[in-house]
Chain A
Amino acid sequence: MTSKTSTTLRILAGLAALVLVAAPLAMPTYYVSVATQILIFAVLAMSVDVLAGFTGRTPLCHGAIFGTSTYVVLYTATVMHMPLPLAMLLGVLAATVLALVFGLLAVRTSGVYFLLLTLALGLIVWGICLRWTEVTGGENGLRGQLRAGLMLSTRELYVAVAVVVALVTFAMWRFVHSPFGLTLRGIRDGESRMASLGYNVPLHLTIAFTASGFFAGIAGALYAVFNDFVSPSTVQLSQSVAGLLMAIVGGVGTLFGAFVGSFIIIALEQAVSSVTERWLMVLGLTFIVIMIFAPEGVIGKARLLMAGRGQSKTKP
């Protein structure tokens, strides 16, 4: 890829981001809610991308990490009556610790096995949320009035979320472009080579996993405030799948693609579900089409097309 196309892309992406952030403010409150959701899920998708795109390990447990933070925020704030900032901090902390544990268990695997192991770990979290009724409220989940307590209107909440998301995005961008991030990419492209160069691969991967969990936790904490509600469906597999799908649709390894992916999936759901209840089918078909025709995702595809080699890459 030439630097020229990448600059063009960056400007385009920046413009798109600006439009995306500002536009909802002029819309009815419902769209503002949808936009808030898009931003929150973009952070989840980016946290997936930190692993999938920069270490080459595709996780299916980020919904569980995300939801753990949501649970902890709602529990500490609503049941234990802690102040919201502290609750959110604890939520993120819980997600980070959980990710550390998951990381320690999972980093020795790769490929499909990594996917399956993280899937299993996510299922454990789901099972606990479902069954530990005294704390998690079981199937019915936990409810709060965090949003009301903040006295924020839908628009104000959106602006607040946008600011946090911008900061988190910047942090992630710095993270993947740091020397540490470069090492991760080295591991992605040649694990044994990096190991023989003396890098401690499992340690690097564990740190990456933990960091990724930290970011997912931030998204989960925002989601707690946004939804004022959490139940096992927030930590279930489909949530992890959603995060991964958004990362893939946007383009794995592009980081910012997550915004595109999140936007496409959520906007598509909005559009489809106003005409038919066959959303699941549309989602499945989208999945299939993307996997066959554009596995690089929208941003990745665009880059390829701009580089003039889109055609040759679509077929193996």
Chain B
Amino acid sequence: MMAFQIMNGLTFAALLFVVASGFTLIFGLLRIVNLAHGALYLFGGYVGYSVGNLTGSFILAGLGAMIFVALAGLVLDQGLLRFVRGFELRQVMLTLGVAFVLNDLALVIWGGDTFTVATPQWLQGAVQIGGLFYPKFRLFVLAVGIFVFIALWVLLNKTRLGALIRAGVDDAEMVEACGIDIRRVFLITFMLGSALAGLGGLLGGTFLALYPSADAEILVFSLAVVIIGGRGSLVGAAIGSLLIGLLNTFGQVWFPQLAYFVIFGPMAVLLAFRPLGLFGKAA
């Protein structure tokens, strides 16, 4: 029973990580708290749903979701955010406006019905580990979460682009002074972060379903993760996801009446004493 609930917490954490890692990358490097991240998640889910229905392929659905949302990120960054560069609060409020527009747009395009992205044949059903039945798809989500973590770690720590991003998180002006086009690094990061939201939308759309307020709900979870983990920190996002995922699961089992308090209470206390989160660095 305990093992089962731990698995539940871990698989939920894996989904949160996929979504929140994109969020924290953008927050870390571009200093943008992208409140449209939830809406991008929802769009990713819906596009994945549509592509999956058209092609019958889960892989294509995933690619479609990621590419579409990455392009949406491109438009958002180049079309709108460029006008408010350097103004933290204006950026936040602008992305909030974008979130409203996207949310309503999704309602216009897909209607308000609750959709679930079809699980591919090879991920249906449950596997038995010990005496435990566990859905294959949730294990797949866990695997994707771990894969994304490793891939991002390698990208950030072993590639030139990653080095630039890390340097940018610490001091963007310095990187620019070195004659590097930091704008392009910014844009790539923004698209990558968005694509992760799209991927999250596809995964979430499969087991959490897609409906008109799903964007706000996942956004609140991602915010909690990033606040706890600290701006721009990959490890922070991973630990934040684990914490929120497990708190959410065990909170529901042990303190069902306190559902939200269990998540936001510790977060508020942490933030009050460590305003930058567990792994955040001062700007």
Check whether chain A touches chain B (CB < 8 angstroms): yes
By a beta-carbon cutoff of 8 Å, the part of chain A in contact with chain B is: 58, 105-106, 108-109, 111-113, 115-117, 119-121, 123-124, 126-128, 130-132, 237, 241, 244-245, 248, 278, 280-281, 283-288, 291-292, 295, 315-316
Q: How close is B44's CB to chain A, nearest CB, in angstroms?
A: 19
B260 on the A face (CB < 8 A): yes
Q: Nearest Cβ in chain A — how far from B128, in angstroms?
A: 36
**Are the CB atoms of A131 and B257 closer together than 8 Å?**
yes
A116 contacts B99, C-beta separation under 8 Å: no
**Residue B33, interface by CB 8 Å:** yes
A-B contact pairs, 11 of them (CB 8 A): A117-B275, A120-B264, A124-B264, A127-B261, A278-B108, A284-B97, A285-B97, A287-B96, A288-B80, A292-B94, A315-B83
The number of chain B residues touching the other chain, given as a range, is 35 or more
Give the docked Cα–Cα distance between A285 and B99 (Å).
10
For the A-B complex, the count of residue pairs with Cβ-Cβ distances under 8 Å equals 121
Pick from B200-208, B219-227, B235-243 the stretch touching chain A: B219-227
Residues of B within 8 A of A123 (CB): 220, 260, 264
Chain B residues, Cβ within 8 Å of A283: 97, 100
Q: In the complex, are the beta carbons of B98 and A284 less than 8 A apart?
A: yes
B108 touches A121 (CB 8 A): no
Least CB distance from B243 to A in Å reads 14
| Proximity string of chain B (70-102) to chain A, C-beta cutoff 8 Å, 1 when within and 0 when not | 000000000010011111111011101111111
Given A116-B33, A284-B98: A292 in contact with B93 (beta carbons within 8 A):
no
Measured in the bound complex, the distance between the Cα atoms of B104 and A115 in whole Å is 24
CB distance A130 to B83 under 8 Å? Answer: no
Chain B hits for A108, CB < 8 A: 272, 275
Give me the interface of B with A, judged by CB distance under 8 Å.
31, 33, 80, 83-90, 92-94, 96-105, 108, 216, 220, 223-224, 227, 257-261, 264-265, 267-269, 271-272, 275-276
Nearest residue (CB) in B for A116 is B227
Q: Which residue of B lies closest to A286 (CB)?
A: B97
Q: Which residue of A lies closest to B269 (CB)?
A: A105
Answer whether A316 and B86 are a contact pair too, CB < 8 Å, given A124-B264, A241-B96: yes
Contacts A108-B275, A117-B272 known; list 4 others, CB within 8 Å: A109-B272, A120-B223, A284-B104, A291-B90
